Amino acid sequence: FKKLKRKGETASDTEQLPTKRIKESGCGSVFNGYRKSDKLVVAIKHIPNENIYCTHFDESGRELSVEVAVMLKLQSGTSNSAGSKAPITLLDWYVLPHELILVLERPMPASDLQSYIERRGGSLKESEAKIILKQLVEAAIHLQDEKIFHRDIKLENILIEMCSGAPRVRIIDFGLSCFTETNSNHNTFYGTECHIPPEWLLRYQYSAGPTTVWQLGIVLFECLHKKHFNSSSFIRRTIKINNRLSKDCKDFLKQCFTRDPKERPSLEQIHLHPWLN
């Protein structure tokens, strides 16, 4: 076990961390662990300093990684109880000389959406995909209301929690996120390269709302097709939507994949789409 300890704390206050890695991402490694005080199961994310791409100054002038700042903002308007919202809860963080360590809520039982789909033969039934997508759209609207742009919504960054028997969506990995207005343009792309929206490929600009809608379309596509999505291939029409899907589902996907971001529906509009209602 490794022990994490802040200055002034006793060993009994610290987290104890088994060394089993449970996730590897572009920003860092995630290990399982538990909080010593109450045996709460947690996830511990180790982020090397060189992988902290953006920082943010809070109201007191304190410099934080954007990942920490975003998660604190998401928790500021809630009861701060772990699991009360779709975004995963930040329980604690440690700034060390060479890395940042985040102690995060770890829903149990749960798996990322990629693994969840694989265990079901590589694709989901349309009815189950609908349950997941509706929750995702609602979570994305919540982020938008808080002026937060995740930038990398994909199967691997979505947890499916199964404690109630029905799938419950949780959003993880805010390492590439930022604070933004819905239609503010961004000129540097952060995210998964094969999921780049067409506006970036054409004009090297993208904005939060239209990009998130594009990414939600990709998530639905990969839930329903036994193949990975690639934006460039889709634009070249070498990837096609399964014609066996319902009419409303196909229309939902086509709406999300509208090439012109100005014509692409907003999150609020896709939330009202007949397929989700």
Binding residues for ATP are: 45, 105, 112
Residues in Cβ contact with 100 at an 8 Å cutoff, skipping those fewer than 6 apart: 46, 47, 49, 52, 65, 68, 93, 94
The partner residues of 17 in beta bridges, in order of sequence, read 2
Annotated binding-site residues read 45, 105, 112
Catalytic residue selected from 13, 92, 152, 248: 152
**Residues belonging to the chain:** 277
By CB atoms closer than 10 A (0-12, 13-18, 19+), residue 235 is middle
DSSP 144-213: HHTTEE-S--SGGGEEEE-TTSS-EEEE---TT-EE--TT-EESS--S-GGG--HHHHHHS-EEHHHHHH
Name the CA radius of gyration of the chain, rounded. Answer: 19
How far is residue 137's CA from residue 238's CA, in Å, rounded to a whole number?
27
- Which residues are within 8 A (CB) of 30 and not within 5 positions of it... i.e. 6 or more apart? 21, 22, 23, 24, 43, 44, 45, 46, 104
Between CA 25 and CA 110 the distance in angstroms is 18
Is 92 designated active site?
Answer: no
141, two tokens:
């609207």
Active site residues: 152
